[in-house]
Structure 1
Amino acid sequence: MRNRVGPALRERLRESADLAEVSGEPDRDLLKELRASGLLAAAVPREFGGAGSDPAEVNAIVEELATLNPSMAIIAFQHFAVSARVAEWGTRRQRETLLPRLADGGCLAASAWSETGAGAAKRHLGSTGTRRADGSWVLNGAKSFTTGASVADVYLVLVQSEEPEEGAEGVYGGSGQTFFLVGSDNPGIVPDLSLDLVGMRGSATGFVSLSECVVQDADRLGEEGRAPEIIAGVRESGATLGAVAVGAAQSAFDLALQHLRRRGLLDKPQVRHRVTELATRLEAARAIVERAGARTAPDPGLTTLHSKLHSSAAAEEICLDVARMLGSAGYTTGARLNRILADTRAVALMGPTNDVCRELVAVSWPS
Structure 2
Amino acid sequence: MDLDPRLARTFREAAITSAVSGRPDPGALAALRASGLLATAVPREYGGAGGDASDVNRVVERLAGLNASLAIMAFQHFAVSSRIAEWGTEEQKGKLLPALADGSCLAASAWSEQGAGAAKRNVSSTAVRGADGTWVLDGAKSFTTTASVADLYLVLVRTGPPQDDPGSGYGTSGQTFFLVDACNPGLVPDLSLDLVGMRGSATGFVTMRECVVGDTDRLGPEGHAARIIAGVRESGATLGAVAVGVAQAAFELLVAHQRKRGGLASPVVRDRLVPLATRVESARAMVERAGARSSSDPGMTTLHSKLHASEAAETVCLEAARMLGSAGYTVASELNRLLADARAVALMGPTNDLCRELVASTWPN
TM over 0.5: yes
Tell me, in whole angstroms, the C-alpha distance in 1 between the residues paired with 2:33 and 2:145: 16
C-alpha separation in 1, matches of 2:166 and 2:99: 37
Q: Deviations over 1:77-96 (max 9, x none)?
A: 00000000000011111111
Give RMSD over aligned pairs: 0.9
Contact 1:169 1:175 in 2 (8 A): no
- Which of the numbers 267, 270, 278 marks the counterpart of 1:269? 267
Return the letter of the residue paired with 2:204.
G
* 2:82 match: 84
Deviation, structure 1 residue 215: 0.2
Deviations 1:5-24 (A, max 9, x none): 21111001110101111100
2: CA distance, partners of 1:6 / 1:226: 42
Q: Is the partner of 1:117 in helix, strand or coil?
A: coil
CA-CA distance at 1:167 after TM superposition = 4.4
Q: Which runs of 5+ in 1 are unaligned?
A: none
Who is 1:188 aligned against? 186
Q: Distance in 1 between matches of 2:202 and 2:289?
A: 30
Aligned residues: 365
Report Cα offsets for 1:234-275 as digits up to 9, x if no partner: 111110000000000011001101110111010011111111
Q: Is the 8 A contact 1:111 1:147 kept in 2?
A: yes
TM-score of the superposition, structure 2-length normalised? 0.99
User: What's the secondary structure of 1:106's corresponding residue?
Assistant: coil
What CA deviation, in whole Å up to 9, does each residue of 1:283-302 have, x standing for no partner?
Answer: 00000000101111111111
Q: 2:237 aligns with which of 226, 236, 239?
A: 239
Aligned counterparts of 1:294 and 1:181: Cα–Cα separation in 2 = 29
Deviating 4+ runs (over 6 angstroms):
none
The 5 Å alignment of 1:348-367 reads: 348-367=346-365
In structure 2, how many angstroms separate the alpha carbons of the residues matched to 1:201 and 1:35? 19
Contact 1:238 1:301 in 2 (8 A): yes
TM-score normalized with structure 1 length: 0.98
In 1, distance between residues paired with 2:236 and 2:250? 25
Partner Cα distance (1:207, 1:362) in 2: 31
Q: Unaligned regions of 5+ residues in structure 2, if any?
A: none
8 Å contact kept, 1:168–1:175: no
Q: Is the 8 A contact 2:100 2:107 kept in 1?
A: yes
Distance 1:179 1:84 in 2: 14
Tell me, yes or no, if the aligned pair for 1:168 and 1:174 is still in contact at 8 Å: no
Does the CA contact (< 8 Å) of 2:168 and 2:361 recur in 1?
no
Percent sequence identity over matched residues? 68
- Please give the per-residue CA displacement for 1:114-164, whole angstroms capped at 9, x wherever unaligned: 001111111111110101111110000000000000010000000011112
Matched, 1:152 2:150: yes
Match for 1:250 among 248, 251, 260?
A: 248
Question: What does residue 121 of structure 1 align with?
Answer: 119
| Matches of 1:277 and 1:357, distance apart in 2 | 25
